[in-house]
Amino acid sequence: MIDQKKINNLLEIIGKIAQNYLENNKGGHIKLLKEKLKDFLTDPIWNEKLILELKNKINKLDLSNEDFTSLWNVINRRLDEDYSDYVERKSHMFEGKIREYEKRVIKFFVRAGKLKGQNYVLATIIGCLLLHKRNGLTQAQMKELTGLSKGAISENLKLMEASPILKKELIKGTRKYLYSLGGDFSAIASGTSVYKFETNEYTKKFLQSMIINLEPFQFRKGHKILLERIQGILSFLEFHRKIVGLITDSEFVKGLGRENS
């Protein structure tokens, strides 16, 4: 609880501010003063000494309204340029509260990935690449975003390189690579479908070649049961193909293509 005496002191100052404001800004609404004052008292930006220094220096220039407008245009341009530079330099760093949302979405990918058998690092990388699909990410940027070790990131990117989903481009004039999931969501979905069909085909071939390799051992203990079980997995692959087909031909995936055409 704040001491009433202290509150009275503050209210005395507030009274003077309000009086000055209403006299100097004829017709100025008190609501505007309230908003400005609250912002001044609560936003940490106003604790920045440089802002006060800037204000003092500009006040000393004793500018006319016209001069101030031209100065403000120059300041405005400089702020825009600085912001563009920052975004370019830190294009992987989302701003303020968006970072929190980003982390929560990535957590979703980690949990969903775990259910699909993906490890934590791989699921985190996929989440990051989906969120940063506009600019892509370097390994160093992924490290900064996730706090994962360089080795773990590099190892999992190598795993992903086997799929057509991941795009890797050398950044001109550097030895760094830019990783991305290759374009818009439609392209990602289509790349994922191709990859799933290819994985299905590869698995089928692996199992079929194992059946052939097992042939010379048909009278050995375990042959019959292992063969039956491999046939069972092959039967699953047929079903898996149907599911991938259902996803690829779904309205949802087709809609992604239409949105981008």
Partner 1 sequence: MSENEPFDDEIKNYEGELIEFLLSAPLFGFQKSIYYTIKAYFITRKNLTQDMIHKLTGFSRGKISQELKKLVENAFIEKSKISRTGEITYSMDSPKKAIIKNFFNSQKEIFDFYNELNELKKEMNAEKNEIENLYGYTDVYELLTLLTASLPLTMKVIEVLEKELASLEK
Helix axes 120-131, 139-146, angle to 10 degrees: 110
Q: Is 220 in the site for partner 1 (CB under 8 A)?
A: yes
Q: Is 79 in the site for partner 1 (CB under 8 A)?
A: no
**119: alpha, beta or left? (left if phi > 0; alpha if psi -120 to 50):** beta
CB of 208 to partner 1, least distance (A): 13
| The one among 138, 139, 193, 203 contacting partner 1 by CB under 8 A | 203
Residues in CB range of 160: below 8 A, 6 or more apart? 122, 125, 126, 166
Query: Cα(225)–Cα(229) distance, rounded to whole angstroms?
Result: 6
Residues 149-188 that bind partner 1 (CB under 8 A): 185
Single out the segment in contact with partner 1 by CB under 8 A; choices: 2-10, 90-98, 139-147, 174-182: 90-98
Single out the segment in contact with partner 1 by CB under 8 A; choices: 11-19, 24-32, 64-72, 219-227: 219-227
Q: How many residues does the structure list for the chain?
A: 261
CB of 91 to partner 1, least distance (A): 9
Residues 109-148 that bind partner 1 (CB under 8 A): 111-112, 115-119, 130-134
Q: Is 94 in the site for partner 1 (CB under 8 A)?
A: yes
Q: Is 247 in the site for partner 1 (CB under 8 A)?
A: yes
CB of 102 to partner 1, least distance (A): 6
Q: Which residues of the chain form contacts with partner 1 (CB under 8 A)?
A: 87, 93-99, 101-102, 104-105, 108, 111-112, 115-119, 130-134, 185, 196, 199-200, 203, 206, 210, 213-214, 217, 220-226, 228-230, 232-233, 235-236, 239-240, 242-243, 246-247, 250-253, 256
